[in-house]
Each structure stands twice: as structure tokens, then as C-alpha cells.
Amino acid sequence: MKKLGVLGTGMVGTTIANKLLELGYEVMMGSRTASNDKQKAWILNKGDKAHIGTFDQAAAFGELLFYCVKGDTAVQIAKSLTPSNIKGKTIIDISNPLDFSKGMPPFLAPALTNTNSLGEELQKVMSEAHLVKSLNIVSSTIMVSEYKPGDSPTMFISGNNADAKQETMHLLKAFGWKDIIDLGDITTARGTEMLLPLWVRTMQTLGHPNFAFTVSR
């Protein structure tokens, strides 16, 4: 696998896209408009392995995709993708169903929590693809960096397809994660998404986002 698509131009999309280039992949970063200011800034001096396009173009380009879009628009963007562009592909979903409409701290969208999750909704909408929820429980600042706080913090994966989870594990290891727990099918994304209220409050208390959860056992 050589070509990867990154849907999202925020801190997460940029962080993942940079790391994938560093690892030698060819990368297309997708947005709503194909060449917004963040994409233009990202692609500067990146060489011929970096590309920009729309969300759908990035989906078509990548043999595996990272899904890094704003939580409250994630389902809408997923619905806009051409089914044949994502068919059979692994999609690593980093998005969170956070609602910032009332400011900080954000809350979890009620329809996407407890008895549901954004991961499950995205898997339903992108039924041709194999969704794996992961990386959503840490800040972009430590997602792919060699430095990981603590001895060996834990990363979780949730998804229905065993091969897609193997591909995800491989990339997580390349991102420096050593302790990876496969929680099971995509319904287990409820657990990791519901860590976000705790994550946000920990961040507010510590005053920085450079921490991670460890499952001691």
C-alpha cells in the first residue's frame, strides 16, 4: 500500500498527513473545496508525493483513508462521498461527536452517545468501507510523535473487519504506539468516544493536552 488519503485539513489531518509523508507514503489531503488556504500551506515544499483535492478526490486516491473532519459535520461529509471511491477500503476514523455550540467544555451529541456512537453512524453511512475507530482519545500533539507521555500509553481500536484492524495496528505501531487494545466491533467506539468528556476536563485541569490514558494491568 503506497497511496493514502487524509480527509481533513485541521490539526489532525495536517499531523497525520505530515507523518505519512515522513513514512514514505504518497498522500492526498482532502477538503470541501480542493485547495483551501490550509491545504495550500500544507503542500508547500512537500515534494511530489503530496497532493491536495476534495474530500471525494482524496477518498478515491487513497488505498486506505484517515477520517479527520469536524465531528458535527462528519456524517454529512461521509454521505457526500461516492460509494465506489471508498468501497472495500479501511477508514481510520479519528473524529469525535463533540458539540461546541455552548462553548467549553463541549458535550457529546446526545444522538451519538451511550447507545450509539459517531463511529457506528459513519460505518452505517459508509457501509462499503471498513471503519476502524482509533487515535480519537489523544491530542494531535502526541498522536504520531516519537514522544509518548508515560511509560507506554494505551491506544484502542474498534471495528468490524479483522484485516482493516491489522492495517490500522501496523500504522499505529509506525506512529509509536506499543500498547494497542482491540476492543472489538465498531459498537465499542461508544467507550472511546465517551472518554472525551474526561479527556477535555483533564486537559483543562492540567492546562495542556500532552497526556494519554494507560490501562495498567
Contacts to ligand NAP by CB under 6 A: 8-13, 31-33, 36, 68-71, 73, 77, 94-96, 98, 136, 139-140
Residue 193 CB, nearest distance to ligand NAP (Å)?
Answer: 9
Nearer to ligand NAP, 9 or 158 (CB): 9
Nearer to ligand NAP, 162 or 206 (CB): 206
Phi-psi map region of 34: left, alpha, beta (phi>0 left; psi -120 to 50 alpha): left
Cis peptide before 97 (omega within 30 of 0): no
> Which residue number, 95 or 168, has a Cβ lying nearer to ligand NAP?
95
Residue nearest to ligand NAP (CB): 10
Q: Using CA atoms in the order 71, 65, 134, 124, what is the torsion angle rounded to 10 degrees?
A: 60
Grid cell at residue 127: 457501509
Shortest distance (Å) from residue 71 CB to ligand NAP: 4
Q: Of the two residues 85 and 136, which places its CB atom closer to ligand NAP in the complex?
A: 136
Is there a contact between 159 and 186 (Cβ–Cβ < 8 Å)?
Answer: yes
CB of 36 to ligand NAP, least distance (A): 5
Nearer of residues 64 and 135 to ligand NAP, judged by Cβ = 135
Q: Are 160 and 187 in contact, with CB atoms under 8 Å apart?
A: no
Q: Least separation, in Å, of the C-beta of 77 and ligand NAP?
A: 6
Q: What is the distance between the alpha carbons of residues 148 and 127, in angstroms, rounded to a whole number?
A: 34
| Residue 156: Cβ within 10 Å count | 24
* Residue 49 C-beta: closest distance to ligand NAP, Å: 20
